[in-house]
Structures are given as structure tokens and as C-alpha cells.
Amino acid sequence: MRITSAAALLSLLFNGGVVFGHEFSGAHGTVTVDWTAPNIDRVLSSGYGDSFGTEAWARKGFPELVEVEGRQCVEGSYFLFDVDDDYAFDIDETVTVELLFDRSQSEGLFVSYDQNVIAENISEITFPDSGDRWHSQVITLERARFANRGESGSDFTIAAPDGTWFGDPEANHKIVLCDLSVRRSNETVEPAEFGQLRLVVNDENSRLTPARIGLYDEAGRMPLPSDSALTIHNYDDRSKQIFLRSTHGAVPVWPNKNRFFFYVDGEYETRLPVGTYELVVSKGPEYGVIQKTIEISADTGTAIAVPLSRWIDMPEKGWYSGDDHVHMTRTPNDNAAISAVMQAEDVHITNLLQMGNPYDTNFAQYAFGKDGRYRAGNHALVPGVEDPRTAVRGHTISVNIREVYRPTDRYLRYDQIFAEYRKQGGMSGYAHVAGRLFNVERGLAIDVPLGAVEFVELLQDGTLETQLWYDYLNLGFKLIPMAGSDFPYLNAPGGDRNYVYVDGDFTVDAYYEALREQRTFVTNGPMLEFLVNDQPMGSDLQLSAGDEVSIVAGAALNPDIESLDRIELVVHGDVVASMNNVSVDNTLSLHHTMTVEEGMWLAIRAYGAEQTVAHTAPVYVTTGGGFENRAAVPDLARQMINKLGEFDTVAADATLELESWSVAEPLSIMLTEQRVKILERADEARAVYARMLDRR
């Protein structure tokens, strides 16, 4: 069964065609499946899943009950299993799972589970060729934990071969499960003695400060955090722990194989089994990372004081960090806890984005504008939106807005929504330029030449994607570089961030004004300096042909993260100077002089040895004209005109929408009703590119 519209989906929901125990829940689109198995408390599914390394995307419909040769089976793309806590909870042993499949429909599966030490344990299983109707698959789960750490408190998952994020949207997406059994080995050793730990974390001024904590026993397990750990708003779940992904392209540095961690608000107390533990304490890229071994003794309290020290003090230099892309549902009562989490990562401005699509919204914010801001010292939560948001023309972000604007009759006219937010004093741009997700190229092609786009999110999930940005810079358009973690979908909060130079006292408004002036760089580690003729990043320089420009740049990287590799001067997208003679204090400097022949843009980028990157906003040099790359303009303009041609035939395709279970029908209606206006807008953009060609 393929669900093709929200109306059809809801009809099936209430008429019993699909096996849901309740309506869809949150951004996951979580549902309870009415199918049971021994020692399983709940069976769930979701439209977009995220557990133990499996990133599922159920684009071909939700589960339904089917009868196969007298057996009650369930057919679907993705299933989550919550093992009965009375049967197994917080264990450390081998568990055997046996599943029976109807192989006429099922060809294999992905399986992932809650494993001690390894946060993401996903493997693919392909069924052997056979003429039998039934296939029994035995799966051995080594060091299973089953501590409700997956989506919606689940313990293990299975997904169809193409039911994942990277699966073929046109493929089958179905497995038929007819029986399941879970067998423990009962090898878990229960601790005999316990002791108390009291942890205190202080900043460089000896004040209590929030921090990220890793705590691992001799077997590599992280004991479940106590109630005194901060609560993390992770999709619809309220968690005490999250993990750093290791299955994506860029792997954030963490000094332990176990990548689970938790947050504390300066103080933490817990009861632990007696033994030796490794303690890791961090607080963003400006602080040193603390690693130490601690001992927990029986019946005695262990007090550990951790004084953090700064590797660098960016606010003292006028630089304040911001994450442009964080999703956490928020009420006024949540402010203090969310702020503490972001302070633990030392993020000064957190853009908390309510996320929309043509059907509904998720990650609700209780207020917008100044009523929705929350400030604790020099750290602030600021509401915004990731909306409008479609795979027809990309996902967008608007920050520092006063109120939400979601006109259904103009939802696909992104430019009009951006214009409204600009009137409010907000800023709008495109998300996921890093990764080129959701056809962002189409949206940029139509909106950039007509002046609607202020920024592009080009650093995300550790990936710096510059080509699209460079193309538009080379065409002569200014676009602010932005970075965001997209928590909880991709990175940990603050994993990718901007630094913005505020000249004077730090305020939320001053931060956004400086960002608008492009006094900024993006980074997941390196800190950058950049001056052209003593003018900072974002500056406009009016010079004459034959004048010289002097470039002074530097990069520095916290050695507890990794070593620097190189710093590069980029002009019109080409590297014209590079330095890799890293000093003993893990810094690099670059000095370069060049003669101006015509307009140009210049920027600095830096790379760590393995995974860290950073990039400044440009300095724009003109000599009576623009700063575009004149030689590249014709080819680039033709590329953009060709991209605009896609709007002539583009169709709404639910399999490309992240919330495919609800978006299909409203998006199709919107595209039908608004296509003429979109094509008119495309013609206006096409005319801009055509004028560029005429000037040649």
C-alpha cells in the first residue's frame, strides 16, 4: 500500500486500514503498531526514524497488518522494538533475536540496536536465495544494553533495504515480519558495591559552569546519567544523554570510543558501581578538554572538582558564537534547561527554529520576537523558523523574526515570505547548502538574482560546501556564510557555528546587525583572522586598477581538538596562497600582497588535519564596477538559466519530502495553484542572468 495523500492517510488511520495505535507524533511521525511479540512492550514505526545509526525514511507508507498462510504478520519499511524493561533493562550481555519473514516480499534488512560502548551499530543482512516461502533470521546482538536509548525509548530496530535515508525512493521499501523472539544469555554481572560521586565544574573565573560530560567504566560503558543531568530536548523525547555521530562523513573528535555523553549545569551527583572510570569534560572549542581517571569506592563519597581553562577567549576579542539551526520544542519553563545545554557548548546565540512544511509545523516556539528571547548572561535563545521548506525548491531559514508568516496561497513564493521577514528586521536564507539537500540549487537560482537571499548555510555536519556559494559570489551577489548543527537531525548542538564580531557591548540585536554586515566566519574548530588593507571580513574596498592589497590572515585551533593543517587565501574561488608551516602553538599565519587588476572577492579558509574546517566572509574589492569574476560569468549564468528550466516541469514528489506522510496532498495542491507565479518569478530571474550575458 502506498500512501499518496494526507487525506487518504488519515482516512486509513481512522478506518483501521493501517495498524496505528494513535495519530502521528512529532517530527518523526511516530506511530504505535498494533502487533505483538513475547517480551516486547511496544512496536513502533515512524516516517523519519533515527536510532542507533539507522536513519530511516519510510517514503512508501506506514505499516499494515497482513495475513500470510494463517500467520498474523506486519508489513512495513521500519520498525522499532521496545523490549519489556521487566525482561531486560540496562544489561550488558549477548542477546539473540530470531525473526521470521515472508521472503516473497522480503529480501533482507538493516538492523541496529542499543549496544554498550558503540553508539551506532547498524548492519545489513541479505537473505540467501531460496525457494522457501519463509526465512528465519537469527541475529546475535553482542553487548546489548536495552536502556531505552533509541527513538521513543526503543531498544533495537529493523528497516527494509531501501527504507533508509540513502535508499532508493523508487525501490520496494517493504519487509514482512511474521514472528519475533528475544532470548537473553543472562550473562550480565550485577554490581555488588556502590559509591557516590559529586562532580563540580568551574570556569576560568572559578564559577559553576555548564559542561558536556563523558563518564566511562573499565568496560567502556557509560552509566545511565542520574536525574541531576540536564534534560535534552531530542525530537519529542526528553533525554539525559545523546551521542556524537560517527557514521557521517566528518566525525567530530571525542577522546573515547563510547560517543554517548550528557550535560550538567555545573554540578552533578550520581550513585555508581565501585571501580575505575574515565572522566571527560568539555565546553566547546574555546576551552581545553579535561580527561582524568577517577576511583569510586564503596560507601564513601567521591568529590571531583574540575576547573576548566580557556584555550582562547573569543568574546574578549569581540567575537561571539552562534548556531543558526537548532530544533527544540520550547515553552517558557524550558528556557533555563535549554539555555544550560547551549551554554555547555558555549554557544552565545542559539537560533531555535520552529520547523514547517506545507501541512503543519514541529518544534513549536511559545513566542517570537523579543517576547520569545531568553538571555542568561551573554548567552541567548532566539526563536526563528525553518519554513518554507520543501524538496521542490529547498529548505529555508529565517532568524530574528517578530512573528511567523505562513500564507498557504503563497507558501511556494519564498521571496514574498522572505520580504515579510525582512520588514520585521529578520534575515532569510537557504539551509542545507552544505550537502545540497532538497533541491536547494533550484531555490537559489530563482531567489538570489532577485535579491531575496541574505545567507547560505554552507557548513553543516562537519561538511564545508563552497561551490554554490562561490558561483554566486563570482556572479556578483553577496551572500553571508552561515553554519548550523541542525540538531537533533545531524550534529550535536553547536557542532557547526558562526563567530560574529560585535563592536561594543554584546546584545542580541548587535549580534544580528554585525552578522548582516558579514563580520563573520563559519567553523567547527579553527578560529580565523582576516584583514585586507587593514579592513575586516565583510568590508567593501573601492580601489583602482594597479593598486596593491595587503592581506594578513591567521588561523588557530584548539590542540585538544586536532592539529591544524593549512590556511588558504581564496580569490574568486581559486587558491592563490597557502601556508602549512604550523607553529608549536597550533597556529598559522599568512601574509600576501597582490596587485588589483579588476574587481574581486577574497576570503580565508583553514583546515585541520582530519575534520575541522573554517571559512571567512569575503572582502569585496571593486575598481569602478563589481567584484564578480568576469571570465566565469557567462558559463555560470547559463548554468543558472538551465537550472531555472527545471521549474517548467517540476512536480510534487512526496518521496523526496522528509515528512512524506503528511506533505503529499497539500504540496501538490500548492504547486498546482502557485506554479504560474513561480514561473513568472523564474522569468524575472532568467532576465537577470540574460543581462549578464548581454554585457559580455
Identify the domain boundary among 131, 150, 184. 184
3-class secondary structure, 11 = helix
pLDDT at 15 over 70: no
Residue 321, beta-bridge partner list? 499
Helix 6-15, helix 660-694: angle, nearest 10? 170
State the pLDDT confidence band at 24, using cuts at 50, 70 and 90.
low
CA-CA-CA-CA torsion for 138, 143, 144, 147, nearest 10 degrees? 180
Note whether 301 and 350 are same-domain residues: no
| HSE-CB of 297 using CA atoms within 13 angstroms | 4
Q: Is the residue at 570 inside a domain? A: no
Q: How many CA atoms lie within 13 A of 242 on its CB side?
A: 23
Contacts of 20 (CB under 8 A, 6+ apart): 13, 31, 32, 33, 34, 62
pLDDT level of residue 694 (50, 70, 90 thresholds) = confident
| Confidence bin at 18 (pLDDT 50/70/90) | very low
Of 298-302, 679-683, 684-688, least confident by mean pLDDT is: 298-302
Q: Quote the pLDDT of residue 11.
A: 34
In one-letter notation, the amino acid at residue 648 is: D
Copy the grid coordinates of residue 130.
Answer: 531460496
- Write the DSSP string, 268-280: EEEEEESEEEEEE
Mean pLDDT of 472-482: 98
Q: Is the pLDDT of residue 335 over 80?
A: yes
C-alpha to C-alpha distance for 83 and 205, rounded to whole angstroms: 46
Is there a single domain that holds both residue 52 and residue 160?
Answer: yes
User: How far is residue 54's CA from residue 164's CA, in Å, rounded to a whole number?
Assistant: 7
DSSP labels, 403-454: S----GGGTT-HHHHHHHHHHTT-EEEES-TTTT-TTHHHHHHHHTTTT---
The residue length of the chain stands at 696
Assess whether pLDDT exceeds 80 at residue 271.
yes
Q: Is the pLDDT of residue 14 over 80?
A: no
Tell me what percent of the residues of the chain surpass a pLDDT of 70: 96
In tens, the pLDDT along 94-142 reads 999 999 999 988 889 999 999 999 999 999 999 998 889 999 999 999 9
pLDDT: which is higher, 664 or 305: 305
Residues 520 and 374 in one domain: yes
Residue with cell 500564507: 407
Q: Same structural domain for residues 167 and 223?
A: no
490 Cβ neighbours under 8 A, 6+ residues apart: 245, 248, 460, 461
> Domain containing 410: what range?
315-524
Q: Report phi then psi at 412, rounded to 5.
A: -90, 0
| Nearest C-alpha neighbor of 29 from the set 487, 658, 491, 656 | 658
C-alpha of 644 from chain center: 28
Q: Is 34 exposed, middle or buried (0-12, 13-18, 19+ CB in 10 A)?
A: middle
Q: What are the cell numbers at 635?
A: 558559463
- 209 and 165: one domain? no
Q: pLDDT tier at 1 (50, 70, 90 boundaries)?
A: very low
d(CA 125, CA 540): 57
Alpha helices in 458-507, H assignment, sequence order:
467-474
Amino acid 12: pLDDT: 33
Q: How far is CA 557 from the centre of its chain?
A: 22
pLDDT attached to residue 20: 42
Q: What percent of the chain has pLDDT over 90?
A: 90
Please check whether residue 552 is in contact with residue 593, taking contact to mean a CB–CB distance below 8 angstroms.
no
| Residue 263 placed within a domain | yes
pLDDT in the model for residue 58: 85
For residue 40, how many other CB atoms are within 10 A of its CB? 18
pLDDT of residue 3 exceeding 50? no
332 shares a domain with 303: no
Last residue of a domain, which of 498, 524, 550? 524
- With H, G, I as helix, E, B as strand and everything else as coil, classify residue 8: helix
Amino acid identity at 129: D
Query: In 681-694, which positions are buried (b, 16+ CB within 10 angstroms) versus exposed (e)?
Result: bbeebbebbeebee
Which residues are within 8 A (CB) of 624 and not within 5 positions of it... i.e. 6 or more apart? Answer: 544
Whether residues 51 and 119 fall in one domain: yes
Q: Residue 414 falls within a domain, yes or no?
A: yes
Look at residue 696 in the predicted model and tell me its pLDDT. 60
Mean pLDDT of 597-608: 97
- Both 165 and 35 in one domain: the answer is yes
Query: Both 39 and 70 in a single domain?
Result: yes
Q: Is the domain of 298 the same as that of 319?
A: no
274, amino acid identity: V
Nearest of 328, 326, 284, 331 to residue 308 by alpha carbon: 284
Last residue of a domain, one of 524, 553, 585: 524
In the chain, how many domains are there? Answer: 3
CATH number, domain of 396, equals: 3.20.20.140
pLDDT of residue 169: 85
Q: Tell me which residue of 471, 465, 523 sits closest to 324, measured CA to CA.
A: 523
Dist CA 150 CA 20 (whole Å):
19
Sorting pLDDT into bands at 50, 70 and 90, what band is 602? very high
pLDDT at residue 498, as a whole number: 98
- CATH number reported for the structural domain that contains residue 178 in this entry: 2.60.120
Q: Using one digit for the tens of pLDDT, what is the confidence trace for 26-68?
A: 899 999 999 999 999 999 999 999 999 999 998 878 899 999 9
Side chain identity, residue 637:
A
Say what the pTM is. 0.94
> Is 415 found in the same domain as 384?
yes
Q: What is the pLDDT of residues 535-569, one digit of tens each?
A: 999 999 999 999 999 999 999 999 999 999 999 99
Q: What average pLDDT is seen over the chain?
A: 94
Q: What's the pLDDT score for residue 23?
A: 52
CATH code (residue 242): 2.60.40.1120
